[in-house]
């Protein structure tokens, strides 16, 4: 309570400043801005827009879990893919620190809210750093520029006559931080305690009847615009099947949105400008973070997109779909701001097909998981097996299987067989085959015939696959099908292992006096190495550390690890490892698991 009183004192000081302003209130940071920035309309930007991807900002009332890591990794893979394509890209992640849940959680810990937020925000930031998430900013809703952006957004809504004040009655859920209409409420019984309570149909969380004076946003005035937008953009949400739920909600449940809470009930948050008795609703506060990072409200006319807005992809969990796909676009449409280009709404991780919950002790700590399996192994598993449409079940046995099949026994074993064998020299094979692509007798990007014609056709499927893999993976990434892209790359690795099993280079190496055997050996090793090289380049967004280790083992120079080089026969300078490896004694990029 002392912390809340201190917070109230600080807010009182701000109210004194606010009271000296004119009736048409403008936040401190915006008073010097040109009027055009406060009357933003859709305009053609004259400057380059970076690719902009965001995670949700994570609520700090509890420690991070694997679901948070999943959102982070998906967003990071998308950003890194754009960088691989040579484009500027920005990734935003961070923490949502206001609201009733945080206020209550801090009180239970006997901590001041800000102190509580500082401690837990650090945990989320540490998770992002450990998971190799290449974020450009870790935003916090307690950041000064964000608070000012929220205040200014409120001012614009009020200036347009889209905010009014009235008594609100309804079912409120503290866990979900929102009101639910009567049609979305049901009676439930706790199977452990026998308690009967009213709950949200959507989330199953407890709701309480609340009557209080609030400010409201005229969201129903945007109903037709929302439905028109959904109709014109049926694939705006991935997976597209979730669009039906949104359309149904807007048609049948849309109400004007309560966008403030009495300060006496919620003291931890951003005060409503010019009305200290009300605190801005946490979801209005939180959603604005995406444009805070993009420079709102200091957007110069014609240069609004320089900070990245509109976002190219919001990565979110399916449980916050309505907030991001109904409330957020309604708020943006109200001010004639561009909407995000796409929403990637992923499903949840479960344990033994049950929702992870602290109360039953089945929550996976992502920090421990990365310590056990390795960072890139966890990134691989989460993208490969994570659910977009349907929930995915977290399973340590499955992680072990994926590791053994695809990483240790697949990519790792293949790299070791090709790059560090005592029976042949990779650099020699690359130079031997590379010479066939140069000079007047070159075959124009096609495979040159080999003396052993019976084996020539064996290499054709791999040649075709290598020629198309970057395009296929790129198409799947564009469709936000990250799992499909990764699975395709692993199929490519499997195809290469099959080629080696067919040609048996270890047998060819023993027939060193035979020119045909020597040529076939060089062709086999070169083709296998080419596919590993291309695959590893394309794997960089998914497993940045391990992909780099594979490329180092092959001797691929760092300047030749771009998407442009993810094509066959574009690099003949590799073959000598960039790291010290002792042939025949190499432990491998993916060592054996210690199992007891």
pLDDT in tens, 502-556: 999 999 999 888 999 999 999 999 999 999 999 999 999 999 999 999 999 999 9
At 2, the pLDDT band (50, 70, 90 cuts) reads very low
pLDDT in tens, 344-363: 999 999 998 888 876 677 88
Across 94-102, average pLDDT: 95
Taking the C-alpha atoms of residue 537 and residue 563, their distance in angstroms, rounded to an integer, is 7
Q: For residue 595, count CB atoms less than 10 angstroms from its CB and return exposed for 0-12, middle for 13-18, buried for 19 or more.
A: exposed
Given a cut of 70, whether residue 210 has pLDDT beyond it is yes
Taking the C-alpha atoms of residue 498 and residue 357, their distance in angstroms, rounded to an integer, is 43
pLDDT of residue 191: 72
Task: Give the mean pLDDT of the chain.
Answer: 87
**Contact call for residues 464 and 569 (beta carbons, < 8 A):** no
What are the residue ranges spanned by the domains of the chain? Answer: 2-14+50-346, 397-565
DSSP letter for each residue of 294-322: TTTT-PPTT-TTTT-PSPSEEEEEGGGHH
Taking the C-alpha atoms of residue 458 and residue 467, their distance in angstroms, rounded to an integer, is 16
Torsion of CA 277, 281, 282, 284, to 10 degrees: -130
Q: Superfamily assignment of 397-565 in CATH? A: Isoleucyl-tRNA Synthetase; Domain 1 (1.10.730.10)
CATH among 1.10.10.10, 3.40.50.2000, 3.40.50.620, 3.30.70.240 for 2-14+50-346: 3.40.50.620
pLDDT of residue 35: 33
Q: First vs last Cα of the chain: how many Å apart?
A: 51
pLDDT of residue 584: 52
Strand order in the sheet with 257-258: 178-180, 163-173, 208-217, 257-258
pLDDT of residue 497: 92
Given a cut of 70, whether residue 29 has pLDDT beyond it is no
Taking the C-alpha atoms of residue 4 and residue 477, their distance in angstroms, rounded to an integer, is 46
pLDDT in tens, 225-268: 999 999 999 999 999 999 999 999 999 999 999 999 999 999 99
**Between residues 144 and 18, the one the model is more confident about:** 144
pLDDT in tens, 34-67: 333 333 333 343 458 999 999 999 999 989 999 9
């Amino acid at each position: 309570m002392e912390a809340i009183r201190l917070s109230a004192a600080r807010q009182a000081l701000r109210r004194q400043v606010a009271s000296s302003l004119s009736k048409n209130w403008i936040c401190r940071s915006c008073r010097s801005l040109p009027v055009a920035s406060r009357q933003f309309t859709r305009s053609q930007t004259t400057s380059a827009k970076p690719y902009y991807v965001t995670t949700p900002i994570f609520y700090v009332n509890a420690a991070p879990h694997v679901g948070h890591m999943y959102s982070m990794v998906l967003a990071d893979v998308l950003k890194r893919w754009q960088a691989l394509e040579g484009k500027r890209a920005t990734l935003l992640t961070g923490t949502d620190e206001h609201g009733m849940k945080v206020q209550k959680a801090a009180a239970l810990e006997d901590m001041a809210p800000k102190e509580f937020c500082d401690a837990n925000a650090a945990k989320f930031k540490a998770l992002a750093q450990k998971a190799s998430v290449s974020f450009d900013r870790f935003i916090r809703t307690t950041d000064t520029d964000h608070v000012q952006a929220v205040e200014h957004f409120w001012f614009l809504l009020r200036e347009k006559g889209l905010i009014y004040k009235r008594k609100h009655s309804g079912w409120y859920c503290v866990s979900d931080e929102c009101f639910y209409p009567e049609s979305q409420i049901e009676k439930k019984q706790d199977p452990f305690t026998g308690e009967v309570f009213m709950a949200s149909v959507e989330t199953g969380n407890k709701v309480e009847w609340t009557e209080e004076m609030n400010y409201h946003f005229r969201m129903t005035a945007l109903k037709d615009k929302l439905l028109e937008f959904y109709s014109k953009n049926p694939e705006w949400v991935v997976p597209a099947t979730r669009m039906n739920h949104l359309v149904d909600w807007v048609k049948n449940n849309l109400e004007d949105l309560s966008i403030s809470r009495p300060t006496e009930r919620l003291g931890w948050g951003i005060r409503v400008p010019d009305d200290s008795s009300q605190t801005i609703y946490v979801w209005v506060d939180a959603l604005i973070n995406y444009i805070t990072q993009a420079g709102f409200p200091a957007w110069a006319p014609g240069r609004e997109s320089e900070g990245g807005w509109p976002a190219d992809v919001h990565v979110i969990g399916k449980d916050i779909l309505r907030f991001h796909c109904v409330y957020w676009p309604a708020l943006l449409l109200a001010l004639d701001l561009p909407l995000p280009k796409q929403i990637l709404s992923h499903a949840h991780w479960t344990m033994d097909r049950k929702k992870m919950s602290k109360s039953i002790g089945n929550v996976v700590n992502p920090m421990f998981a990365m310590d056990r399996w390795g960072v890139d192994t966890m990134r691989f598993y989460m993208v490969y097996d994570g659910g977009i449409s349907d929930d995915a079940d977290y399973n340590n046995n499955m992680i072990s299987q994926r590791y053994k099949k695809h990483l240790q026994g697949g990519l790792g074993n293949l790299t070791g067989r090709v790059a560090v064998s005592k029976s042949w020299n990779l650099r020699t094979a690359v130079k031997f085959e590379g010479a066939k692509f140069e000079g007047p007798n070159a075959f124009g990007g096609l495979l040159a015939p080999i003396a052993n014609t019976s084996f020539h056709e064996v290499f054709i499927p791999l040649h075709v696959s290598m020629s198309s893999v970057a395009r296929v993976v790129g198409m799947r990434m564009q469709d936000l099908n990250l799992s499909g892209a990764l699975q395709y790359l692993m199929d490519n690795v499997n195809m290469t292992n099959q080629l080696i099993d067919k040609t048996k280079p270890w047998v060819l190496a023993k027939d060193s006096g035979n020119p045909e055997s020597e040529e076939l050996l060089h062709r086999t090793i070169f083709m296998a190495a080419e596919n590993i090289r291309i695959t590893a380049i394309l794997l960089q967004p998914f497993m940045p550390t391990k992909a780099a280790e594979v490329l180092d083992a092959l001797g691929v120079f760092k300047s030749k690890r771009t998407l442009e080089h993810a094509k066959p026969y574009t690099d003949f300078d590799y073959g000598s490892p960039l790291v010290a490896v002792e042939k025949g004694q190499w432990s491998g990029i993916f060592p054996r698991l210690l199992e007891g």
